[in-house]
């Protein structure tokens, strides 16, 4: 679906006109192409006194062949500013992150990154440290709003002992795979992570993607296959033809099934046990909308949305966490929520409830999943250019596109890349997160 306004403002004249009228001028975002380096310009790296992640950060920057500088040089455009703020234990020390970012923020390249690493506030050792670490959130979210040229800012909360588990998250955030993810707070815990093969991290893994016949699900299936997984594409029988087309193109296979059927969990577990001898990645992408304001919403509209978007997923995950499950250690359960589930939305009481439920489900199940060496996370997409959003009335669609720090809609691939990061064998420390893929949407923030 094309964004004509963005096309217009990409031309010199259109851009000038938009600027003069005080209208947004969205920068076309750089997106990953196979073979692209993680960073293609120097990285400025700094740390607060007493910070503890230096070794892990240097290791990742070294492995991605970044040219690392520790003080800004005039005229250099930086692919990323990376600041280890874990040494900040009191509010007067926040000055260090201000000093580092403020001197170089105007040198951040187009589609560049600002990444601040801190300690999860609940894992700090006293009130002063907790206060200062929590304060970083306001800082990073503001940086996200002030950055220009499609650049983004993130805060990574690295729990004590999580240093060795940071690599996959740093790579994702530094790269153009995280193009539409901004102003997120991502928690990484300690984990023994597999060292993946970076060009095909999902080699020999088996993945299930629900709702894979079109839209975001199709892109997720393609991306997991690109990363080396055998993808089983699931959708309702009525979508059989499109489903087969997607599966054939990516060398995957199909499973025609309505996930709300009573025996769906059993059929899924049997399918993977018998046909594939196991399962590694499950993406609960299938979802529906049945919009009506509450006074006009029928029971059927309520039940169908809660049934597909939430209850089917709860039942399938329960089955996948039993002892006889085909889900292997190192497994990944991934939900698709929505910013409607965070902010609420007129006409979507059923949908917003179901998507908020997905967030609760992820948070509730994370400790149990961890006991089995499995992670569970969700993405919460904002405005994504799909046939679903193409059907939205034009004024609402324009508002949805522009009301975020990047002034544009995301693409299905942006959701898919975020899911691929969760799925990565190196992301074993990423558990119980809900990362928004919304370009820092104003809704619910």
Give me the residues that bind ligand NAD (CB under 6 A), please. Answer: 210-211, 213-217, 235-236, 239, 258-260, 285-288, 308, 336, 338, 381, 383-384, 386-389
Which residues contact residue 364 at a Cβ distance below 8 angstroms, ignoring those fewer than 6 apart? none
Give the active site residue among 5, 78, 98, 351: 351
| 351 assigned to active site | yes
User: How would you class 403 by CB atoms within 10 Å of its CB: exposed for 0-12, middle for 13-18, buried for 19 or more?
Assistant: middle
Nearer residue to ligand NAD within complex by CB, 8 or 388? 388
Nearer residue to ligand NAD within complex by CB, 140 or 352? 352
Nearer residue to ligand NAD within complex by CB, 149 or 344? 344
Nearer residue to ligand NAD within complex by CB, 99 or 390? 390
- Least gap, CB of 314 to ligand NAD (angstroms): 14
- Least gap, CB of 258 to ligand NAD (angstroms): 4
Nearer residue to ligand NAD within complex by CB, 107 or 239? 239
Nearer residue to ligand NAD within complex by CB, 46 or 381? 381
32: left (phi over 0), alpha (psi -120 to 50) or beta: beta
- Least gap, CB of 259 to ligand NAD (angstroms): 4
Nearer residue to ligand NAD within complex by CB, 143 or 310? 310
Give catalytic residue positions.
351
């Amino acid at each position: 679906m094309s964004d004509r306004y963005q096309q217009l403002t990409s031309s010199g004249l259109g851009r000038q006109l938009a600027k003069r009228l005080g209208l947004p001028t969205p920068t076309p975002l750089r997106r990953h192409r196979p073979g692209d380096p993680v960073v293609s310009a120097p990285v400025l790296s700094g740390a607060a006194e007493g910070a503890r992640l230096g070794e892990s950060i240097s290791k990742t920057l070294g492995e991605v062949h970044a040219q690392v500088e520790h003080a800004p040089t005039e005229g250099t455009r930086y692919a990323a500013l990376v600041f280890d703020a874990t040494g900040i234990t009191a509010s007067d020390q926040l000055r260090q992150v201000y000093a580092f970012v403020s001197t170089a923020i105007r040198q951040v390249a187009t589609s560049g990154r600002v990444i601040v690493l801190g300690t999860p506030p609940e894992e700090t050792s006293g009130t002063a440290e907790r206060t200062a670490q929590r304060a970083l959130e306001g800082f990073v979210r503001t940086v996200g709003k002030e950055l220009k040229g499609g650049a983004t800012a993130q805060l990574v909360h690295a729990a004590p002992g999580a240093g060795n588990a940071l690599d996959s998250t740093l790579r994702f955030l530094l790269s153009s795979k995280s193009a539409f993810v901004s102003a997120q707070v991502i928690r990484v815990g300690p984990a023994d992570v597999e060292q993946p093969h970076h060009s095909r991290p999902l080699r020999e893994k088996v993945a299930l993607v629900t709702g894979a016949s079109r839209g975001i699900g199709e892109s997720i299936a393609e991306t997991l296959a690109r990363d080396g997984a055998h993808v089983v594409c699931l959708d309702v029988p009525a979508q059989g033809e499109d489903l087969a087309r997607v599966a054939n193109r990516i060398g995957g296979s199909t499973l025609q099934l309505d996930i709300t059927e009573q025996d769906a969990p059993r059929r899924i577990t049997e399918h993977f046990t018998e046909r594939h001898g196991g399962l590694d990645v499950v993406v609960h992408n299938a979802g529906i909308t049945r919009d009506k304001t509450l006074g006009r919403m029928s029971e059927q509209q309520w039940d169908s949305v809660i049934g597909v978007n939430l209850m089917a997923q709860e039942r399938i995950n329960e089955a996948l966490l039993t002892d006889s499950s085909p889900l292997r250690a190192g497994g990944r359960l991934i939900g698709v929520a929505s910013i409607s589930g965070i902010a609420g939305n007129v006409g979507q009481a059923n949908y917003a409830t179901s998507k908020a439920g997905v967030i609760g489900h992820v948070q509730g199940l994370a400790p149990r999943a961890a006991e089995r060496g499995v992670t569970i996370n969700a993405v919460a997409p904002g405005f994504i250019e799909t046939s679903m959003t193409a059907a939205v009335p034009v004024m609402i669609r324009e508002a949805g596109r522009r009301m975020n720090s990047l002034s544009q809609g995301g693409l299905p691939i942006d959701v898919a890349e975020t899911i691929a990061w969760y799925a990565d064998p190196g992301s074993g420390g990423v558990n119980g997160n809900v990362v928004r893929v919304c370009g820092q949407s104003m809704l619910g923030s």
